[in-house]
Amino acid sequence: MATIISSASFNPADFSAPGLYINNVPPVPYINGAATNVGFVVGTANWGPVNAPLITSDPADAQNKFGGITATALTDVHDLCTDLTIAYQQGFINLWGVRVTDGTDVAASVTASGATASGGTVTALYTGSLGNEITFQITAGANSSLFNVYVSAPFYGNAEAFTNLPAATFWTSLQSALASGVNGVRGPSSLVRLLNASNAAGAPTVGIYTLAGGTSGSANVVTDDLVGQNQTTPHTGIYLAASLSPYPQKMWVAGLTDSSAVADMVAFAQANAIFTAMAFPTGTSTSAAQAAIEAAGEPSYELSWLKDWIYWNDPVNATVRLVAPYGFTMGLITALSPAQSPLNKQVLGVVGTERNNPYTGNVPYGNAEIGILNSIGVLVITNPIPQGAVFGVATATNTSTNSAESPVEYATMTNFLDISFGETMGQFVGQLQTARPSDPLRASVRHALNGFLNGLQGAGIIDAFSVVCTYATSGNPQLGVNTPQTIAQHYLYAFAAVRYLSSVWYFVISLQGGTTVVTTSPAQSA
């Protein structure tokens, strides 16, 4: 029988018995491109865990996890489900949601009755006013010694059923079923738990119980609650994005207009390869926006500012609301390929904007004003845009003062490459390299980088590339040259030069017309 050995454990010096040894050598590694259609949104909600990210795939999923849009959204600019819903209108994306509170949130509850006393307190799984809509029903079971429990809420799909619980141990059996599920039958409840269960209460009283007393803790949320902190564990707010998988490459805080948060948001975004945005308050003029950006400082390719709030048709409250532009602009950027600029792209669901006001009329943007906004890193939605009479993004930049970094797609492409390399290339750490020109480890690095970038080029995501991971007696390590000294010091250097595609900002058609114009044939003009 052959002895099978993995490549990492292969050491011929350990062989003592004659025989056949098979060394399983792993294939040459390749790079998986990181998902770019993943975003991260912080806001308030009337249901769901607090400071615990949950990924959502559509508005219905967001409703199950955070309760959906309710009447409170009419007065709460930080409503998480509003931004999730709008962002999903912009294309195929997945969004992490994080609910924050002001610390006054309370879970709804109700006392469940037994024959002789309270059997326990049925408590909502999460804090929030939507917990007050949960009903807890006890009915007779298959026979007199069994009971059923049904838990339901308008915002949460089908009712949960926990059937044929024994009367003698009803309360502790129910406590276990709600917390851990019923083996082979169903999982735990997503709506409630039973606290202080006591079988001494006797058989349960059949009936319907409605939970009460739940509060959302969103009325007095401040910037510090929304942005969060990373000084102590557990982290809160935006800082929860750093450890997620799939990794979000775009991030925003619903309704936030407090520019004092920009420094912290940019520092986090730069350290974690995440593109972010800050919206201006309603009524901000172009000159005021320019002054606010200068006052805030923090130029970065990871930051754009958003101007003009949007009139949006709220399908739940059946009214047109003025909402911050995050869901529209950042939702669009999240849905686009990282190589794509948001410039001249249509956004969906817009009824009007502050400047395209459905109630007071239009105050159109001229070229000079659009030029100013584009030069300082402000994204603005207006109508028309160059493609026609639709609502879309009329500018294309972030706040970097380096013109080569200023297109939004520079940030999204750079983050995509950074994260893709970071998620895959770490496998080379701890591997062995040699000081020979034909080192196999460097060859594997080149193969991985070349294969990945060649695939991007073939897909029309990058324009051109070159990869260097070589050996020389001297050279610049930052350009991919590994020398005897760097190898001896346990370094491995690679250099990938990637030329991005360039979005068109200025399209010029020269027209010469008149009866004296001399034309050429297609063959001559080619």
Q: Which two tokens stand for residue 191?
A: 């709506």
Q: Which two tokens stand for residue 324?
A: 């911050």
pTM to 2 decimals? 0.93
Residue ranges matching CATH 3.40.50.11780 in the chain: 38-100+227-410
- Tokens 């030329």 label which residue? 499
Backbone angles phi and psi of 358, in degrees to 5? -70, -10
Report how far residue 5's alpha carbon sits from residue 133's, in angstroms, rounded to the nearest whole number. Answer: 60
Residue ranges matching CATH 2.60.40 in the chain: 109-210
pLDDT at residue 15, rounded to an integer = 80
The fold for domain 109-210 equals Immunoglobulin-like (2.60.40)
Q: Which CATH architecture has domain 38-100+227-410?
A: 3-Layer(aba) Sandwich (3.40)
pLDDT at residue 28, rounded to an integer = 73
pLDDT at residue 522, rounded to an integer = 66
Phi-psi group of 297: left, alpha or beta (phi > 0 → left; psi -120 to 50 → alpha; rest → beta): left
**Residue segments in the chain with a per-residue pLDDT below the cut of 70:** 522-526
Share of the chain above pLDDT 70, in %: 99
- Tokens 């909402």 label which residue? 323
Q: 306: Cβ–Cβ under 8 A, 6 or more apart, which residues?
A: 277, 278, 279, 280, 324, 325, 326, 329, 378, 379, 380
pLDDT at residue 319, rounded to an integer = 97
Which of 409, 415, 480 is CA-nearest to residue 449?
Answer: 480
pLDDT tens digits, one per residue of 161-189:
999 999 999 999 999 999 999 888 899 99
Q: CB 8: neighbour CB atoms within 10 A?
A: 10
